[in-house]
């Protein structure tokens, strides 16, 4: 499970180093120039930012009509720009914009809804991106903006066009002929329905004598269509000053009015909520800054289910730690396995995490799977407590963070004024052991209700979209930054903690997994050294292409001797999962159905706890495949990946 994550980091952020960032002064404000994934970019920062960090995103010509940016910077806005010149709003430009947006909201903590500003050909960029991301846009401003590339640079209307730029448009969009380009149906003035539905306000300044980008073919036509769709569009003709370049360059008659448009629409919603409201510090993160600074090495583990296994927030946290402690050599342990909650986590903790060496910082998540897998309250507390106690016994100075991730059921609970039961259970353990928690379930719910983004369009699923992963990473890095900012390694000593008495004496702190081959079994069972499903069904990491003890015949028996308080089997429960009968120490036989509600879709890894309150001594488990089976199942299969035991190691 050890995994060095460096190759994945660029999928989520493009790190800035102090060497690659140049700080200068622009119009009296700090300007950062940097390279973002091979493109020059910049961010101009206000002297005092408005609450929530609202920002303006300039498309093309970032220094033109700079008086408007100066006004907005003075009011507390940030102004950002990335150079996608000569891409004319094409898919390649939009891919770069998507990544730049993610970077801005994560690394610079700018507001989720951005105001878009485009001069001339910049109109192609702002409308293309807004249609891709309507829920992320506060308002749109066009300044002599191109709204149809057939008008400019095509020149197929009353304007003169630009032959060289038209050829570039053909190339970057991949058009094979002028006819194909003319038939393109997603220019800014086309397909405006998503923007109107999202009620994004639009303002355009135009020069009525503009012969380069004629307003009748561009802004005026777009505004007319937008209003007919129910959108709000305003046209502000600029006629007072002297125009140049055939009417295309003109002074803005009233820059304050344009600034007021941005200010009103960016600030009319509630300010972005602060992540700190969802962080419960308890004992805090105290030791790792000292370890990282002094020892110049650190080992960080991530234990959880699919949300930890999938790329995203985990990569961003690794990237952040490497930049925050540039002289520290990190070892990152990726111990996420899809479908796993606290019970699997407690029993595989030793194999997947603690066996890798001294862990300095552990991130643990299980609230989604513990709830959806319907683990009992007792099981949730015992397992989470087992993870905490095993971690602290292995390294009394270890710092831990527990995250509560979001799903629709948790959102419904919070909206009903209730704390989800699984979060109450995990918090009970966190309170007892003074472990910090980050309640992302509540934070995401309240940010959505605050109008900052949406579940369907932005977060999309309990397995977050890249945007959702950014929301997670943003909050977690804010938590870490506050924790690290108060540390002073020169004046502190590394402290160890003493474990209090357990909440539950049967917690799983001695959990371990034992290879299934250690059981005693007859010919009806066999070890498949590299088991893969024969039906093409989906599988989960660590539960295929691995040794599996397989039995498929009713009556097939096995025996397994163990020492400890708990015993269970970790199985791959697929479409043909059967039923088993088992007993411990010659007690009464009990029946267990291995078929789950998900078994028809996936060979689901499932941990079945057979007994959890045994005396801490040697026991005998007897197990046999039952004659009966679930009516939904296609067979009697029992595929055991591990036995798991809560007891001293053999």
- 591-641 residue pLDDT tens: 999 999 999 999 999 999 999 999 999 999 999 999 999 999 999 999 999
Band of pLDDT at residue 118, cut at 50, 70 and 90: very high
Residue 170 has pLDDT above 80, yes or no: yes
Residue (of 394, 460, 454) closest to 649 by Cα position: 394
Residue 18 has pLDDT above 60, yes or no: no
Per-residue confidence (pLDDT) for residue 3, from 0 to 100: 31
Are residues 330 and 318 in contact, defined by beta-carbon separation less than 8 angstroms? yes
At 527, list the tokens. 């070890």
pTM: 0.74
- 492-515 residue pLDDT tens: 677 777 899 999 999 999 999 999
DSSP string, 168-219: HHHHHHT-SSHHHHHT---STTS--HHHHHTT--EEEEE-TT-SSS-GGGTH
Residue (of 404, 426, 403, 400) closest to 497 by Cα position: 400
Give the CA distances from residue 609 to residues 55, 379, 382, 585, in Å, rounded to whole numbers and listed in that order.
Answer: 52, 9, 12, 16
Residue 12 has pLDDT above 80, yes or no: no
650 versus 106: the higher-pLDDT residue is: 106
**What whole-number distance in Å separates Cα of residue 98 and Cα of residue 107?**
14
511-646 and 24-267 share a CATH fold: no
Domain 24-267 has CATH 3.40.50.1820: yes
State percent of the chain over pLDDT 70.
95
At 508, list the tokens. 């799983």
- 428-439 residue pLDDT tens: 999 999 999 999
Residue 169 has pLDDT above 60, yes or no: yes
Let me know the angle formed at the C-alpha of 489 by 483 and 495, rounded to the nearest 5 degrees.
75
**What whole-number distance in Å separates Cα of residue 330 and Cα of residue 311?**
18
Per-residue confidence (pLDDT) for residue 585, from 0 to 100: 98
CATH code: domain 511-646 is 2.60.120.260
Domain-wise residue ranges, the chain: 24-267, 275-491, 511-646
Band of pLDDT at residue 125, cut at 50, 70 and 90: very high
Are residues 563 and 615 in contact, defined by beta-carbon separation less than 8 angstroms? no
Let me know the angle formed at the C-alpha of 45 by 20 and 57, rounded to the nearest 5 degrees.
90
Terminal-to-terminal C-alpha distance of the chain = 23
Residue 649 has pLDDT above 90, yes or no: no
Residue 11 has pLDDT above 50, yes or no: no
State percent of the chain over pLDDT 90.
82
Are residues 123 and 142 in contact, defined by beta-carbon separation less than 8 angstroms? yes
Per-residue confidence (pLDDT) for residue 487, from 0 to 100: 60
Let me know the angle formed at the C-alpha of 109 by 56 and 430, rounded to the nearest 5 degrees.
155
At 373, list the tokens. 């897998």
**What whole-number distance in Å separates Cα of residue 286 and Cα of residue 284?**
6
Are residues 340 and 334 in contact, defined by beta-carbon separation less than 8 angstroms? no
Residue 197 has pLDDT above 80, yes or no: yes
CATH code: domain 275-491 is 3.40.50.1110
At 280, list the tokens. 């419960």
- 463-475 residue pLDDT tens: 998 889 989 999 9
3-class DSSP assignment, residue 94:
helix
**What whole-number distance in Å separates Cα of residue 10 and Cα of residue 325?**
18
Per-residue confidence (pLDDT) for residue 451, from 0 to 100: 81
Sign of CA dihedral 59, 60, 63, 65: negative
Band of pLDDT at residue 489, cut at 50, 70 and 90: low
Burial track 78-115 (b if 16+ CB lie within 10 A, e otherwise): bbbbbbbeebbbbeebbebbbbbbbbbbbbebbbbbbb
Q: To which H or E segment does residue 113 belong? A: none
Question: How many whole angstroms from its chain centre is CA 465?
Answer: 6
What does the pLDDT average to over 265-285?
A: 85
At 484, list the tokens. 């690290």
Which of 25-34, 448-457, 579-588 has the weakest average pLDDT? Answer: 448-457
């Amino acid at each position: 499970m050890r995994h060095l994550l460096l190759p994945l980091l660029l999928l989520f952020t493009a790190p800035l180093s102090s060497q690659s960032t140049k700080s200068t002064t622009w119009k009296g404000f700090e300007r950062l120039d940097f390279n973002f994934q091979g493109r020059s970019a910049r961010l101009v920062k206000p002297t005092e930012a408005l609450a929530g960090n609202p920002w303006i995103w300039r498309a093309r010509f970032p220094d033109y009509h700079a008086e408007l940016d100066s006004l907005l910077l003075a009011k507390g806005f940030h102004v950002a720009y990335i150079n996608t010149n000569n891409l004319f709003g094409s898919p390649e430009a939009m891919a770069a914009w998507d990544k730049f947006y993610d970077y801005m909201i994560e690394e610079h903590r700018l507001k989720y809804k951005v105001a878009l500003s485009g001069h001339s050909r910049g109109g192609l960029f702002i409308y293309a991106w807004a249609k891709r991301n309507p829920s992320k846009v506060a308002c749109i401003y066009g300044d002599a903006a191109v709204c149809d590339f057939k008008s400019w640079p095509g020149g197929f209307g009353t304007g003169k066009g630009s032959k060289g730029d038209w050829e570039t448009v053909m190339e970057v969009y991949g058009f094979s002929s002028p006819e194909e380009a003319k038939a393109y149906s997603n220019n800014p003035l086309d397909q405006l329905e998503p923007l109107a539905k999202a009620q994004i306000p639009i303002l355009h300044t135009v020069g009525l004598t503009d012969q380069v980008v004629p307003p009748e073919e561009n802004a005026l036509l777009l505004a007319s269509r937008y209003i007919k769709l129910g959108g709000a569009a305003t046209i502000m003709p600029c006629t007072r000053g002297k125009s140049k370049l055939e009417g295309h360059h003109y002074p803005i008659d009233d820059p304050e009015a344009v600034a007021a448009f941005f200010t009103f629409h960016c600030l009319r919603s509630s300010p972005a909520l602060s992540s700190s409201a969802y962080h419960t510090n308890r004992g805090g993160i105290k030791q790792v800054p000292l370890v990282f600074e002094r020892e110049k090495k650190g080992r960080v583990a991530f234990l959880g289910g699919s949300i930890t296994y999938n790329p995203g927030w985990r990569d961003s946290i690794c990237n952040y730690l490497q930049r925050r402690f540039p002289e520290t050599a990190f070892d990152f342990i990726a111990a996420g396995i899809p479908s796993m909650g606290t019970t699997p986590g407690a029993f595989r903790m030793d194999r997947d995490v603690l066996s890798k060496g001294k862990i300095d910082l552990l991130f643990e998540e299980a609230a989604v799977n513990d709830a959806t897998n319907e683990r009992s309250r007792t099981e949730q507390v015992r397992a989470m407590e087992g993870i905490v106690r095993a971690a602290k016994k292995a390294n009394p100075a270890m710092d831990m963070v527990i995250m509560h991730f979001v799903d629709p059921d948790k959102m419904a609970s919070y909206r009903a004024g209730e704390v989800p039961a699984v979060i109450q259970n995990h918090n009970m353990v966190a309170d007892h052991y003074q472990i910090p928690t980050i309640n992302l379930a509540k934070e995401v719910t309240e940010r959505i209700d605050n109008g900052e983004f949406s579940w369907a369009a932005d977060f999309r699923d309990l397995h977050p979209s890249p945007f959702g992963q950014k929301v997670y990473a943003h909050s977690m890095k804010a938590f870490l930054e506050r924790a690290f900012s108060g540390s002073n390694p020169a004046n502190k000593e590394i402290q160890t903690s003493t474990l209090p008495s357990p909440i539950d004496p049967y917690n799983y702190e001695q959990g371990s997994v034992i290879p299934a081959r250690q059981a005693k079994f007859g010919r009806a069972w066999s070890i498949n050294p590299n088991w893969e499903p024969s039906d093409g069904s989906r599988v989960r990491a660590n539960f295929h292409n691995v040794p599996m003890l397989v039995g498929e015949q009713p009556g097939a028996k096995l025996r397994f001797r163990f020492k400890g308080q708990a015993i269970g089997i970790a199985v791959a429960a697929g479409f043909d999962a059967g039923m088993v009968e088992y007993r411990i120490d010659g007690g009464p036989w009990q029946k267990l159905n291995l078929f789950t509600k998900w078994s028809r879709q996936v060979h689901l890894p499932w941990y079945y706890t057979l007994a959890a309150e045994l005396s801490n001594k040697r026991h005998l488990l007897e197990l046999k495949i039952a004659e009966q089976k679930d009516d939904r199942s296609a067979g009697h299969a029992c595929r055991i990946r591990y036995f798991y035991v809560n007891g001293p190691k053999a």
